[in-house]
Amino acid sequence: MTDFFAPLIGQQQAVELLKQAVAKNRIASAYLFAGADGVGRSLAARCFVELLFSHSINNISSDSTTKRLQQGNHPDVLWVQPTYQHQGQRYTPQEAAEKKIKRKAPPVIRLEQVREITTFLSRPPMLAPRSAVVIEQAETMAESAANALLKTLEEPGKATLILMAPNLDAILPTIVSRCQRIPFHRLDTAGMTEVLTLTGHQEILQHQAIINIAAGSPGKAIESYQQMQAINSDLLKSVTKAPANLRHCLELAKQIDKELETEAQLWLVDYLQQMYWQQRRQPNIIKLLEQTRKNLLCYAQPRLVWECTFLKMLG
């Protein structure tokens, strides 16, 4: 018998719960995959959908289903990601990065995307025994989008919805109550090593700051390493040392503001916290950088935020 969850590492509890649901024909209309980003929730969703689709009424082969799911073009699956709004168009984070669109606010699940889910589920499945909707980062839904989704969760029709969120407190209790909760856990050192090695990212294991930032999330480790590679190496080297003088503080702040998007600046805060803790064990610097993060998230002027941070480091 095919083990559809074979690619998923370190999530035995989640796998067992999902397999039992299918084996006992107790498939819920909605699931909440709760756990940190990058620990396998998206992969688990694809594996679960493949399992649900494995006995198609039209006898579509498993290989064909797998290929369609991997390519993201199965007609009975709608995969929803948070998006940016730019000049009247919606872009996923990947699309925005490819088009070099300047991003200030973080991406969100929008009301119109929830309406698209409703439209998608209004028609019967074409190839599979049921339709499937996967919503990544469901915690980014605005209240209007979340309320619109409630109606769909109450009457999903012949469909299964999978929502992903970091924890139960991240989304409305009324949504949580309509979902079967599936817990996903951070991986231990062995699990991290196995995933990063199997995916060809073993070089990340040599960067302890990246591993610390990831905190048991292979996906976060890969994303963080890629972010580090994308930043000017001279800039990265400069900011990991205490600023030498007032001019140095102002120049660093100007360079960060000019070269890095908001997301990259937030990553830099994480990286600096890890580096300063490894090198100096200074709790006051860690707290200062945490305030930097809060200020950036409040959409304060980034250059001013970094100037204040480096000037305080200067003492």
Residues 83 and 222 placed together within one structural domain of the fold: no
Residues 219 and 114 placed together within one structural domain of the fold: no
With cut-offs at 50, 70 and 90, classify the pLDDT of residue 228.
very high
Is residue 6 assigned to a domain?
Answer: no
Q: Is residue 58 scored above 90 in pLDDT?
A: no
Q: How many domains does the chain have?
A: 2
Q: Quick one: average pLDDT of 137-142?
A: 93
With cut-offs at 50, 70 and 90, classify the pLDDT of residue 1.
low
Q: Kindly report the CATH number assigned to the domain that includes residue 123.
A: 3.40.50.300
Mean pLDDT of the chain: 90
**289 closest CA partner among 276, 304, 280, 300:** 276
Q: Is residue 138 scored above 80 in pLDDT?
A: yes
pLDDT tens digit sequence for 161-208: 999 999 999 899 999 999 999 999 999 999 999 999 999 999 999 999
pLDDT tens digit sequence for 267-279: 999 999 998 888 7
Residues 17 and 149 placed together within one structural domain of the fold: yes
For 248, list phi and psi in degrees, rounded to 5: -60, -40
Residues 197 and 169 placed together within one structural domain of the fold: no
pLDDT at 79: 95
Q: Is residue 216 scored above 90 in pLDDT?
A: yes
Residues 74 and 170 placed together within one structural domain of the fold: yes
Is residue 1 assigned to a domain?
Answer: no
Is residue 207 assigned to a domain?
Answer: yes
Q: Are 3 and 51 in contact (CB under 8 A)?
A: no
User: d(Cα 132, Cα 187) in Å, to the nearest integer?
Assistant: 27
Q: Is residue 286 scored above 70 in pLDDT?
A: yes
Q: Tokens 């079967």, residue?
A: 180
User: d(Cα 36, Cα 49) in Å, to the nearest integer?
Assistant: 20
Residues 172 and 198 placed together within one structural domain of the fold: no
With cut-offs at 50, 70 and 90, classify the pLDDT of residue 55.
low
Q: Is residue 307 scored above 80 in pLDDT?
A: yes
Residue 246 token pair: 């007032």
User: d(Cα 310, Cα 289) in Å, to the nearest integer?
Assistant: 10
Expressed as residue numbers, the domain containing 42 is 12-183
pLDDT at 57: 46
Is residue 96 assigned to a domain?
Answer: yes
pLDDT at 59: 46
Is residue 157 assigned to a domain?
Answer: yes
pLDDT at 70: 76
User: What sign results for the dihedral spanned by CA atoms 18, 23, 26, 30?
Assistant: positive
pLDDT at 64: 75
Q: Is residue 102 scored above 80 in pLDDT?
A: no
Is residue 5 assigned to a domain?
Answer: no
With cut-offs at 50, 70 and 90, classify the pLDDT of residue 113.
very high
pLDDT at 87: 80
Residues 234 and 177 placed together within one structural domain of the fold: no
Residues 23 and 71 placed together within one structural domain of the fold: yes
pLDDT at 104: 67
Residues 174 and 194 placed together within one structural domain of the fold: no
pLDDT at 257: 94
Final residue of a structural domain among 148, 183, 218: 183
Residues 73 and 106 placed together within one structural domain of the fold: yes
Is residue 2 assigned to a domain?
Answer: no
For 134, list phi and psi in degrees, rounded to 5: -115, 125
Is residue 4 assigned to a domain?
Answer: no
Residues 150 and 220 placed together within one structural domain of the fold: no
Final residue of a structural domain among 183, 212, 229: 183
Report the predicted TM-score, pTM, of the whole model to 2 decimal places: 0.85
pLDDT tens digit sequence for 33-48: 999 999 999 999 999 9
Final residue of a structural domain among 159, 183, 207: 183
Residues 160 and 270 placed together within one structural domain of the fold: no
